[in-house]
Structure 1
């Protein structure tokens, strides 16, 4: 769904008037800017959005990946002066 939203100035800040269908229930949203793209998403559902995105991967995702065995390494202990 793509809708047109109006951009306007509110004091020294730029604001966007969202169409009714795109309203948020929260008082705050997170804003992510990627190039010219601006994405708004509910602050309280960030974890849920991440969890839901994991469900988009098919069950056999990277099934044939050649994962090398774990390397044995010495622990890096801090040096005393």
Structure 2
């Protein structure tokens, strides 16, 4: 199927096509949880890890 340039997803992007009655919806394919974990593990590791200061919750009356 050819689409106008304004609505293309770019080269190499897989799409999911879903039909509900007369409506056809196309969207980029979602990653499976396994693919997502693999993509995150493939990212470069940071040289250092920054630490946040401890969070101190404010005291509120009635809680």
- With normalisation by structure 1, the TM-score equals 0.32
Q: Comparing both chains, which one has the higher relative contact order based on Cα–Cα distances under 8 Å and sequence gaps of 6 or more?
A: 2
Larger proportion of strand: 1
